[in-house]
Structure 1
Amino acid sequence: MGFLLFTVAAAVLLVKLGLWQMSRGAEKAALLESLAVKSQQTVTSLEAADGKGAGVSLSGSFAKDRSVLLDNQTHEGRVGYRWFAPFQSGGQWVLAELGWVAAPASRESLPELPTLSSVQGIRGILDKPSKRIVLGGGNTETGWPRRVQTIEPSLLGPAMGLTLSPWVVRVNAVDSTDNTFSLPAIPVWEPVVMKPEKHYAYAAQWFGLALVVVVGFGIWWRRTSR
């Protein structure tokens, strides 16, 4: 009797975990579909943007020599940084993420970043900075480019001498004076960390384990009932 109760409880728990993963997958799929629709409705000012996921095409210019490098970012097994720089458009400043850059061999050195003076416009997706847990002193370095542990416009703005928007633009293209400027960094931003397909795969694993538990109990029951 005890083994039967254990089997039922384990099977119910595993099925619930599978259903939860299915639910999370459906939520992620709906979110991605919503963001895809919003990103296609491109606007040309931050005021006109409809929040997270909105597509923007902004004209303006970058602030020189005030780049920010988000620390501890890996890409394909390599250590590096996510590169952000302040961009002015329509009298407003916003941090633009330009992508991932590899870190030099020595921690004492920072990557060589190309000048952005020829850039006249950026295109990308509006987003809020990701929340990160920081141990220790947080953003304590000085000088530019500045290595930071979190992207916090409310703190970085005063350090830059600028009033930054609380949003960031995840850049996927730039416009330059000679039309030859290409993004020197690798775009790595994803709207969701775990895609729906992965949730569905986890759900299949939980359902599979539930089936194994039930079948295992059935085999045990037949053997002990003889």
Structure 2
Amino acid sequence: MPERWRFLLISLAAMLGMAVTASLGRWQLQRAHDKEQRFQAMERQQSLRPWANADLAALNSPQAEEVPSAPWLHRPAILQGRWLAGQTVYLDNRQMQGRPGFFVLTPLRLAPPHEDLIVVVQRGWVGRNFQDRLALQPVETPAGLVEVRGQLEPPPSKLYELGAESAGAAPFHGADPDGQTPQLLQNVDFAAWAAASGLRLQAYGLVQTDAPSQGLSRDWPKATAGVEKHYGYAFQWFGLAALIALLYVWFQVLRRFIRPARA
């Protein structure tokens, strides 16, 4: 291959490599910026006045489709109501502080005059019985009117699973919760739960943040922006672009002048 064409091909490859790596670096910076904005928006929501029963009733649109733009997202709340203990669900394979166990979810029927609204409360975490994985540690569910403090969030994240539950066919309790035993599920779908039980469950849930009680731990992980890895990836991509540029300048430009001078 003639020297001229070889030089042109190497130059083209170097420019393409620098363009791609620099573009990837800028993409990582943009991802970090987007996450910082979302984290700041979450902090603003968390600093607002806690909502009460009447505020949830005033939403009038519990089945919000665009979760990120929902006014309730990350909003603190102090709700009064009564537990529907027979509708309690244990979510399997959930961890807290690195320990395997279950998230315990119980619907809360709001106090009158908003008793037609029911919010699923992620009450806390209990450990697993390693001798019998189907043995569920009992938790105390007070009867009567209770006050629950927490933060309004989307339903718990779903884990990968096989079988009927992954298709949304998991059974739920009927409309009458009396006498029912807690269910052990891998995932929970609020819409399917509402349809099977006849309860008016809201599309959002409440993550309870009260002090540990009723046999439940509530040491939820603190939310962070999580941008450090994106800055690290951006540094690597920009560093690679700079390395390509340095190698190109050394081997294709400076060496061309050094070799004739030595000759």
Taking structure 1 as the reference length, the TM-score comes to 0.80
Identify if the C-alpha distance between structure 1 residues 73 and 212 changes in structure 2 by more than 3 Å, giving closer, same or farther: farther
* Letter paired with 1:29: E
Q: Secondary structure at the match of 2:233?
A: helix
Which of these residues, 145, 164, 185, is aligned with residue 137 of structure 1?
164
Q: Secondary structure at the match of 2:199?
A: coil
Count residues with an aligned counterpart: 220
Counterpart residue number, 2:44: 37
Provide the rounded CA distance (Å) in 1 between the counterparts of 2:120 and 2:130: 27
Counterpart residue number, 1:117: 142
How big is each residue's C-alpha offset from its partner over 1:160-206, in whole Å with a ceiling of 9 and x where there is no partner? 452211111122126xxxxx8367224436667x7233322322222
The structure that has the greater radius of gyration is 2
Moved more, 40-49 or 85-94: 40-49
Identify if the C-alpha distance between structure 1 residues 144 and 12 changes in structure 2 by more than 3 Å, giving closer, same or farther: farther
8 Å contact from structure 1 (residues 126, 168) kept in 2: yes
How big is each residue's C-alpha offset from its partner over 1:2-58, in whole Å with a ceiling of 9 and x where there is no partner? 233222222211221221121121111111211211222211122356321222111
8 Å contact from structure 2 (residues 82, 109) kept in 1: yes
Q: Secondary structure at the match of 1:60?
A: strand
- Segments of 5+ residues of structure 2 without an aligned counterpart are 1-7, 60-70, 173-179
Post-superposition offset of 1:82 = 2.7
Moved more, 142-151 or 25-34: 142-151
Moved more, 108-117 or 23-32: 108-117
Post-superposition offset of 1:121 = 1.5
Identify if the C-alpha distance between structure 1 residues 222 and 73 changes in structure 2 by more than 3 Å, giving closer, same or farther: farther
Higher helix proportion (structure 1 or 2): 2
Post-superposition offset of 1:223 = 7.4
Counterpart residue number, 2:106: 85
8 Å contact from structure 2 (residues 209, 218) kept in 1: no
Counterpart residue number, 1:221: 252
Counterpart residue number, 2:67: none
Q: In the TM superposition, what are the counterparts of 1:8-19 in structure 2 within 5 Å?
A: 8-19=15-26
